[in-house]
Copies of this chain bind each other. A is one copy, B any other.
Amino acid sequence: LNRIKASGLKLRFCTNETQATREKFVKKLQGLGFDISVEEVTAPAPAACRILKERGLRPHLLVHDDLVPEFAEVDKANPNCVVIGDAADNFTYANLNEAFRVLIGMEKPVLISLGRGRYYKETDGLKLDVGAYMKALEYACDVQAEVVGKPAKMFFESALAEMGVTPEEAIMIGDDIVNDVGGAQQCGMRAVQVRTGKYRPCDENHPYVKPDAYVNNLAEAVDIILQQL
């Protein structure tokens, strides 16, 4: 990261993290030694806040407790939409019913989902992600959710807009074949898959996503990018 920054290239961190504010997320990465600030992070919650403001939407929130501060500035009285994130233990029957009743009570239900992940791994095992609960509400209310986060095109476009560059000028580096590589390519960017983290060997035979290049780690991606300047 330091070499990228020293080269004068613009940099942006795109995450689907919705279990914590950007502040917490950044602190965690700083603790791991990364030179990163809140302003460099594109995350679903702040992207959703922009959409809410633009469209005059007042959300009923079904999100993780630690994410609530991201919506501090948003008017939440008399809700006219539902925002769902990875609420984890907040996904109780009572809370899901409440979100459902808000939605079904609208003339035209608006459901905004912070990502569409199926599940993820934690130390104590696999956990259902926001996408599963999004599908439950979609079915119950016969509505299609608007997804904010990777791999949504709009999410990558807002990251590009924040940097002030075109898709052709940008390159995505990520470990997730669909959310990182596929999403960025659909937006017109080139994308490199890193063979760490979520990477699985079977990704290299993915039926419809083919990265522009593979690297074994982030440093190798930086080498390639700096060589081509």
Residue A28 is within 8 A (CB to CB) of chain B in the complex: no
Main secondary structure of the interface of A (DSSP, over half): helix
Which residue in B93, B127, B133 is a CB contact (below 8 Å) of A136? B133
A residues contacting the other copy or chain, number (CB 8 A): 29
A132 vs B133: C-alpha distance in the bound complex, in angstroms? 8
Give every chain B residue within 8 A of A165 (Cβ-Cβ): none
Residue A27 is within 8 A (CB to CB) of chain B in the complex: no
Residue A126 is within 8 A (CB to CB) of chain B in the complex: yes
Residue A131 is within 8 A (CB to CB) of chain B in the complex: yes
Of A13-21, A67-75, A97-105, the one contacting chain B is: A97-105
Residue A207 is within 8 A (CB to CB) of chain B in the complex: no
Asked if A119 and B92 make an inter-chain contact with CB atoms under 8 angstroms apart, the answer reads no
Query: Within residues 77 to 109 of chain A, which ones have a CB less than 8 A from any CB in chain B?
Result: 88-93, 96-97, 100-101, 104
A132 vs B137: C-alpha distance in the bound complex, in angstroms? 7
Asked if A89 and B100 make an inter-chain contact with CB atoms under 8 angstroms apart, the answer reads no
Give every chain B residue within 8 A of A93 (Cβ-Cβ): 88-92, 128
A125 vs B109: C-alpha distance in the bound complex, in angstroms? 18
Residue A6 is within 8 A (CB to CB) of chain B in the complex: no
A47 vs B92: C-alpha distance in the bound complex, in angstroms? 29
A42 vs B131: C-alpha distance in the bound complex, in angstroms? 35
Query: Within residues 116 to 155 of chain A, which ones have a CB less than 8 A from any CB in chain B?
Result: 118-119, 125-129, 131-133, 135-142
Interface residues of A (CB under 8 A from B): 88-93, 96-97, 100-101, 104, 118-119, 125-129, 131-133, 135-142
| 26 A-B residue pairs with CB within 8 Å | A88-B93, A89-B93, A90-B93, A91-B93, A91-B96, A92-B92, A93-B128, A96-B128, A97-B127, A97-B128, A100-B119, A100-B126, A100-B132, A101-B126, A104-B119, A118-B142, A119-B140, A131-B139, A131-B140, A132-B136, A132-B137, A132-B139, A132-B140, A135-B135, A135-B138, A135-B139
7 other contacts beyond A97-B128, A118-B142, A135-B138, with CB at 8 A cut-off?
A90-B93, A91-B96, A92-B93, A100-B128, A104-B119, A133-B136, A135-B135
